[in-house]
């Protein structure tokens, strides 16, 4: 049975991504990681060659293309014969990189700038007939976490996404091909992120599938109650630091399950298997339609 949600597995072909930078810079390692995530339940593989973590430095289009295109080509070839091949997504804001990735086998463009960074991007997406994800981001990665401010973060993010959706449709992108992302962690404080998750139904009400990307992000460590003794959160100079990335999976699972309950339908994650299990339980509970799987002897 096809679930009414999709898991997007993250493949960072970068040396500097916040959670796994350098682990999958090698083409073979990246391809195997993607195949492993498909085995674990990923419906989409999101391949990126430029980090968008806070403070990240930009990458030239040629280098970004060099990193991602061979991985996309290899994954397209390796998964083509599967009964349900994963959709391949290119995580980029550069039109040239998107065009090369689409030619290599990608069918989704995940643009964190929501078609603002490169004026040619909208025509690339529209002309290809590809799907696209439009994300809200306040500022740019190098500066986005420097005291972000909003009047009402949910109202402002929703208005932004509505405007970008209208722009995309006016420029020839079919509305049914657009996914919206409120941009958790992109120019938001902990309080902003939590408010977006709490009122996610207001983003869902725009009428397009909503993607949520909370996986391993630092705000998850900051909202965990401080522990005592051997489990005490790390401190430096008396100031609490976020829990290490390796300890953020419980928060990732919790936020994805809550987002699913509030109407999100695409979940961008690094740890596919545990999130897939959590969402399967949530879906069975909320739908009331669980059916035992066939058993083998």
Q: What is the CA radius of gyration of the chain?
A: 19
Question: What local confidence, expressed as pLDDT, does residue 242 receive?
Answer: 65
Question: Are 257 and 214 spatial neighbours (Cβ–Cβ below 8 Å)?
Answer: no
Question: Are 107 and 87 spatial neighbours (Cβ–Cβ below 8 Å)?
Answer: yes
* The CATH fold of domain 6-287: TIM Barrel (3.20.20)
* Active site amino acids: 217, 268
What pLDDT, in 10s, does the model give residues 3-59? 689 999 999 998 744 454 446 568 898 999 999 999 999 999 999 999 876 666 788
What pLDDT, in 10s, does the model give residues 228-256? 444 444 555 445 556 888 899 999 999 99
CA pair distance 264, 212, nearest whole angstrom: 7
Which span out of 46-60, 137-151, 193-207 was modeled with the highest average pLDDT? Answer: 193-207
CA pair distance 143, 89, nearest whole angstrom: 26
CA pair distance 212, 110, nearest whole angstrom: 12
CA pair distance 203, 182, nearest whole angstrom: 8
In this prediction, residues 138-150 reach a mean pLDDT of 73
φ, ψ at 217 (rounded to 5°): -75, 155
Helix (H, G, I), strand (E, B) or coil at 99: helix
Token pair, residue 48, equals 């990126």
CA distance between the termini of the chain: 21
Question: What local confidence, expressed as pLDDT, does residue 186 receive?
Answer: 92
Q: Which residues pair with 111 in a beta bridge?
A: 134
């Amino acid at each position: 049975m096809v679930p009414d949600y999709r898991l997007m597995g993250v493949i960072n072909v970068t040396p500097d991504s916040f959670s796994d930078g350098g682990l999958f810079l090698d083409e073979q390692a990246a391809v195997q990681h993607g195949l492993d995530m498909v085995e674990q339940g990923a419906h989409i593989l999101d391949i990126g060659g430029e980090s968008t973590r806070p403070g990240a430095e930009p990458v030239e289009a040629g280098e970004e293309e060099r990193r991602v295109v061979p991985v996309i080509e290899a994954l397209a070839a390796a998964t083509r014969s599967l009964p349900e091949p994963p959709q391949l997504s290119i995580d980029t804001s550069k039109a040239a990189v998107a065009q090369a990735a689409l030619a290599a086998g990608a069918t989704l463009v995940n643009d964190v700038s929501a078609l603002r960074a490169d004026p040619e991007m909208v025509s690339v997406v529209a002309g290809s007939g590809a799907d696209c994800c439009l994300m809200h981001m306040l500022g740019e990665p190098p500066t986005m976490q420097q005291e972000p401010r909003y009047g009402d973060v949910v109202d402002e993010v929703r208005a932004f996404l509505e405007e970008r959706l209208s722009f995309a449709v006016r420029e020839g992108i079919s509305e049914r091909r657009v996914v919206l992302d409120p941009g958790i962690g992109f120019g938001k404080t902990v309080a902003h992120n939590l408010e977006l998750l709490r009122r996610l139904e207001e983003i869902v009400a725009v009428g397009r599938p909503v993607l949520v990307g909370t996986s391993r992000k630092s705000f998850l460590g900051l909202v965990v109650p401080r522990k005592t003794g051997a489990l005490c959160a790390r401190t430096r100079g008396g100031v609490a630091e976020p829990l290490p990335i390796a300890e953020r999976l419980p928060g990732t699972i919790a936020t994805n399950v809550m987002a699913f309950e509030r109407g999100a339908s695409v979940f961008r994650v690094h740890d596919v298997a545990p999130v897939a299990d959590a969402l399967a339980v949530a879906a069975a509970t909320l739908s009331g339609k669980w059916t035992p799987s066939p058993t083998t002897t």
